[in-house]
Chain A
């Protein structure tokens, strides 16, 4: 004991203890005590994905380049700040991504919560969900399937702001000239995903 400290310095709390305490919190934060949003990260061949869900279903999938902190803050602002990391509760979602990257066409129905998209953007996402695995559709062709068939630019915006990339396949929308176009996960990721769906294997 030094003379400067009134009581001995506490040794740091073991990380394993803090992990165990956090797991207890996760196990207790259910039902009435459930958070607004629970989330986890999933390691994937296209980088670390952040997967966030409400009680209704997965509401947000974010690429690493979007920044975990920025995405969580945006979820706090738009859905609610009661946000908790709960890896076990999102094991199903993690399995969905594992299966998808292993080449499964439609792994299994993942409950989704599309509350982060509204109005026309939500309509575009609904149309997108009907684009089959391995198929490509142009922005114009997708617009033609909506209630505003000429709103090609708005369709582009809806794809660019898709809160559920990969799960809602905005990567299947490409330009009329054949080029892949923009992608939130980066154009190179879009190219790889399209190759995965064509060849059954993800190019490195």
Chain B
């Protein structure tokens, strides 16, 4: 007996948004969010297990990589970079911009663990590493993020 998919969107839409936005610029993140839920909707009747959030984050991570690969030819500047003419409009913009400056592995580990709330074993499954490596990447990422945010706050 599976619950209606709309409940999944309601329960996890915001988490998936944070994952997509944590990994991508705003416009690309919107694409990745809708592609994630389209794919999840298509597979919902075959989903096994109870880790719905981990499953969605796995899909979102893959979709984000797809979007990044597709836009690799056209470089889109991340908002909030130092020479950007538009200043960041709020603290969350600072965080997204700071996340964009982390190395990919740290960025994904921070997003999946701290923004999506996945335990390290699930983060490792999503990013294809070990739980210990995921923990280290998240910890290194947070340290670097703090430095970036302090600098930007000043």
Count of chain A residues near B, Cβ 8 A: 33
Chain A residue, CB-CB nearest to B20: A21
Majority secondary structure, B binding face: helix
Q: Are A13 and B17 in contact (CB under 8 A)?
A: yes
B120 within 8 A of A: no
Partner of A22, one of B3, B5, B13: B13
| Interface-side segment among A79-87, A99-107, A123-131 | A79-87
The yes or no answer to A150 lying at the interface (CB within 8 A) is no
Enumerate chain A residues within 8 angstroms of B38, measured Cβ to Cβ.
25, 28-29, 33
Interface string of A43-83 (1 = CB under 8 A from B): 00000000000000000000000000000110111001111
Q: Is the C-beta of B146 less than 8 angstroms from some C-beta in chain A?
A: yes
Q: How many residues of B contact A (CB 8 A)?
A: 33
Q: What is the chain A residue whose CB lies nearest that of B39?
A: A33
Q: Select from chain A the residue with minimum beta-carbon distance to B33.
A: A21
* A21-B42 CB under 8 A given contacts A1-B149, A7-B95, A7-B114: no
| Residues B13 and A81 in contact, CB atoms below 8 Å apart | no
B12 to chain A, nearest CB (A): 11
Please, how many angstroms separate the alpha-carbon atoms of A55 and B90 in the complex?
44
